[in-house]
Amino acid sequence: MNSLLEPETELAGLPPKISARGLSFFYGKSQALRDVNLNIPANRITALIGPSGCGKSTFLRCLNRMNDLIDGTRLEGEVLLDGQNIYAPGVDPVELRQTVGMVFQKPNPFPMTIYENVAYGPKHVLGVRRKDEMDAIVQKCLEKAYLWNEVKDKLRDNGMSLSGGQQQRLCIARTIAVNPKVILMDEPCSALDPIATQRVEDLMLELRRDFTIVIVTHNMQQAQRASDFTGFFMLGRLVEFNTTQNIFLVPQMKETEDYISGRFG
């Protein structure tokens, strides 16, 4: 079995939405990723786990070129989205980040109303101008984010007045409002209580019908509950990639087994 590229038969017939090919990444002279090869299947949730500093968040940010914003960084290899190299000359990183949206560790609603948070992308990125069309987009995205019933009577309230869990779901609604293909989530529940965490996990499972989701998490129980596939990173390398069930029940690599059993990390 090639544990890095095609785990089991569950990937048979599942086209990769994103593919990393020989991906290495450097912060100055420090190498953070080493020859990562990984196919991320469409319309599934892929979790990235591993000890702190292992490269999983760096890898996540490679998928929408967020690392471009850091001076002195360098990437080798390719990242393919629907077969197209996102690092090819002529690719606009801003347009790419519309297609590959990101939800961050700490909820970061804009300091504006709930309505305006969701409407911002459709207005400024998609050029939506008609109020009835915008109203429909805002309601649809808030419904998809399991937030509509909680905020429908206070859309003019500031988004920052919501609870932490509601703010994170608002950020997810804002992300999907520009019709991305992929949603990246970097520790999206680390600042949330267990109830809010469950709501976000339920939301992820619902959203995978329409989006490909990649999540970085330190919470291995979360990876087990909410993902279809899991990749284990250590020291900048992808040690093992497989179905989440196989990673946690029958890991192929000793490093993976040691990590999930708590023997290190």
68-115 pLDDT, tens digit each: 999 999 999 999 999 999 999 999 999 999 999 999 999 999 999 999
- pLDDT in the model for residue 87: 97
- Assigned domain for 233 exists: yes
Higher-confidence residue: 8 or 67? 67
Flag whether pLDDT at 6 surpasses 60. Answer: no
Residue percentage of the chain with pLDDT more than 70: 94
Cα 169 to Cα 59: distance, rounded to the nearest angstrom: 24
Q: Is the pLDDT of residue 9 over 60?
A: no
Name which residue leads in pLDDT, 13 or 127: 127
Tokens of 146: 């399991």
Asked if residue 207 belongs to a domain, the reply is yes
pLDDT band at 5 (very low <50, low <70, confident <90, very high): very low
Q: Residue 244 domain-assigned?
A: yes
Specify whether the CB–CB gap between 191 and 107 falls below 8 A.
Answer: yes
**Total domains present in the chain:** 1
pLDDT for the residue 1: 36
CA distance 79 to 66: 13
Residue 8 inside a domain? The answer is no
Classify residue 158: in a domain, yes or no: no
pLDDT digits (tens, 9 = 90+) for 158-182: 999 999 999 999 999 999 999 999 9
Angle (CA) 126 127 128, round 5°: 95
pLDDT, tens digit (0-9, with 9 covering 90-100), for 227-241: 999 999 999 999 999
The CATH number of whichever domain residue 199 belongs to comes to: 3.40.50.300
Q: What is the pLDDT of residue 2?
A: 39
Q: Distance (Å, rounded) from C-alpha 19 to C-alpha 46?
A: 13
Higher pLDDT, 14 or 142: 142
pLDDT at residue 57, rounded to an integer: 96
Mean pLDDT to the nearest integer, 244-261: 96
CA angle, 69 then 42 then 48, to 5° = 55
The domain in which residue 49 lies consists of 16-107+180-260
Mean pLDDT of 111-130: 96
Q: pLDDT grade, residue 155 (50/70/90)?
A: very high
More confident residue, 57 or 4: 57
Distance CA 98, CA 28 (A): 28
Cα 79 to Cα 26, 131, 209, distances in angstroms: 15, 38, 23
Domain assignment present for residue 210? The answer is yes
Give the DSSP letter string of 140-187: HHHHHTT-HHHHTT-TTSBGGGS-HHHHHHHHHHHHHTT--SEEEEES
Quote the pLDDT of residue 264. Answer: 66
As a whole number, the mean pLDDT across the chain is: 93
**Two structure tokens written together for 226:** 């909410």
Confidence of residue 262 (pLDDT cuts 50, 70, 90): confident
pTM: 0.92
Residue (of 215, 191, 195) closest to 205 by Cα position: 215
Asked if residue 60 has pLDDT above 70, the reply is yes
122 within a domain of the structure (yes/no): no
Per-residue tokens: 61: 């940010």
Residue 56 in domain = yes
